[in-house]
């Protein structure tokens, strides 16, 4: 199954209520797969709608999520930029939803080949205001599949938007996937949702405006307190041959797949290289990386960008050990060999 198709199938099976999308390479298969499957009529009853723009799609998600429904959208880098306004509102309104970015090379229209240059946008808040997205970075098609259900679970647990930051390579890659049984769509909606004001309760309002500054600040404090709980409870990462490693690569997504091979090649040459893969890019697993960095000679941040995650790596490592960056961008995919060459040259400095 293709990475993009895995997302679509997972959405149907996890009981998602609605998908709103707009075509853009390299993620159009998500919308196409859903259109072909026609879950509204043939499977779970999930709504699938092609919107007139990414902006409309994310606002449709806002509307459905405001009704307590499991709603999602997907796009690729330029389209995700268009969704930032909506994401800021969704985060401010504390609505749960899932957004998938099958990212490509940027900036601007960039290229349609894989890229990881949307890291800042994803983890630092791409829209305006103090907010956070929970960001999951899959590196297999199985994870593409699994993170849809996980994403919705986290989104509803914290009433917060969740972003799956994938890339064109994982999206287009074909791998075997273990599918899970079809879940029912939820019939009970959250108490805060706008479902029609019944006489037994006050009206429910989904809004993001607080003209009074102290009210807005209190709202921000509430959000920050929530983000702190997320940071304490939801950090996910994977370690690969770090036990005896003298050097560690930090990479996520497609870069981490490529670096698996780099590590194999390095080990064949006797270089004790390991890898630390953040799965949650926000919250970033900084404490674990800090611990690991105490016992190694160097850390290499490897990304398909001009250097974005490396900033969080440096912040986490806190000068315990040198941090070097290697990246390719614009849609160019690095080879395991060139990463190893870079590491060897840095080791010999």
The two three-digit tokens of residue 313, written as one number: 């790596």
Distance CA(26)–CA(183), nearest Å, equals 28
Q: Are 258 and 332 in contact (CB under 8 A)?
A: no
* β-bridge mates for residue 19, sequence order: 48, 72
Q: Which is nearer to other proteins, 41 or 207 (CB)?
A: 207
The b/e string for 109-143 (b: 16+ C-beta within 10 A; e otherwise) is: ebbebbbbbbbebbbebbbeeebbbbbbbbbbbbb
Going 12 to 14 to 16 to 20, the CA torsion angle's sign is: negative
CA 196 to chain CA centroid, Å, is 33
Are the beta carbons of 26 and 104 closer than 8 angstroms? yes
The distance of closest approach from Cβ of residue 65 to other proteins in the complex, given in angstroms and rounded to an integer, is 8
Q: Which two tokens stand for residue 306?
A: 């001009």
Residue 207 or 349 having the CB closest to other proteins: 207
Nearest approach, Cβ of 189 to other proteins (angstroms)?
A: 9
Give 111 or 208: the residue with its C-beta nearer to other proteins: 208
Comparing CB distances to other proteins, the nearer of 63 and 336 is: 63
Question: CA 97 to CA 113: how far, in whole Å?
Answer: 27
Choose between 17 and 146: whose C-beta lies nearer to other proteins: 17
Contact 226, 96 (CB under 8 A): no
CB of 61 to other proteins, least distance (A): 6
> What is the secondary structure of 102-122 as a DSSP string?
EEBS-STT--SSB--TTHHHH
User: Nearest approach, Cβ of 50 to other proteins (angstroms)?
Assistant: 10
Q: How far is the CB of 68 from other proteins (least distance, A)?
A: 9
63 or 330: CB nearest other proteins = 63
Looking at the Cβ atoms of 207 and 269, the one nearer to other proteins is: 207
Smallest distance from other proteins to CB 100, Å: 17
In the complex, least distance from residue 174 CB atom to other proteins, rounded to whole angstroms: 32
Instruction: Enumerate binding residues for other proteins (CB under 8 A).
Output: 17-18, 20, 47, 49, 51-53, 55-57, 59-67, 69, 71, 85-86, 89, 93, 194-199, 203-209
Upstream peptide bond of 215 is cis (omega within 30 degrees of 0):
no
């Amino acid at each position: 199954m293709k990475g993009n198709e895995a997302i679509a199938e997972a959405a149907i099976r996890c009981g998602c209520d609605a998908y709103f999308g707009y075509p853009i390479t390299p993620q159009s298969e998500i919308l196409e797969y859903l259109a072909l499957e026609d879950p509204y009529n043939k499977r779970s009853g999930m709504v699938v709608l092609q919107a007139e723009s990414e902006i409309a799609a994310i606002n449709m998600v806002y509307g459905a999520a405001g009704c307590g429904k499991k709603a999602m959208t997907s796009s690729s880098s330029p389209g995700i930029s268009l969704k930032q306004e909506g994401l800021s509102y969704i985060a401010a309104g504390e609505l749960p939803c899932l957004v998938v970015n099958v990212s490509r090379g940027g900036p601007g229209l960039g290229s349609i080949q894989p890229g990881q240059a949307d890291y800042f946008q994803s983890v630092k808040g791409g829209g305006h205001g103090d907010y956070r997205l929970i960001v999951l970075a899959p590196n297999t098609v199985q994870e593409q599949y699994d993170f849809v259900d996980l994403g919705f679970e986290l989104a509803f647990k914290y009433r917060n938007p969740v972003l799956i930051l994938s890339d064109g390579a994982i999206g287009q890659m074909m791998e075997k996937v273990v599918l899970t049984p079809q879940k029912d769509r939820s019939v009970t909606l959250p108490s805060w949702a706008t479902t029609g004001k019944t006489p037994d309760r006050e009206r429910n309002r989904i809004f993001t405006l607080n003209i009074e500054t102290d009210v807005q600040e209190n709202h921000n404090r509430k959000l920050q307190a929530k983000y702190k709980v997320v940071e304490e409870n939801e950090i996910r990462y994977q370690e690969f041959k770090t036990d005896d490693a003298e050097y560690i690569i930090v990479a996520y997504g497609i870069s981490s797949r490529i670096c698996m091979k780099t590590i194999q090649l390095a080990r064949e040459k006797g270089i004790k290289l390991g890898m630390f893969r953040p799965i949650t890019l926000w919250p970033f697993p900084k404490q674990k990386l800090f611990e690991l960095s105490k016992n190694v000679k160097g850390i290499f941040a490897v990304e398909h960008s001009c250097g974005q995650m490396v900033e969080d790596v440096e912040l986490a490592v806190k000068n315990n050990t040198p941090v070097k960056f290697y990246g390719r961008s614009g849609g160019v995919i690095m080879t395991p060999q060139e990463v190893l060459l870079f590491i060897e040259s840095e080791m010999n400095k």
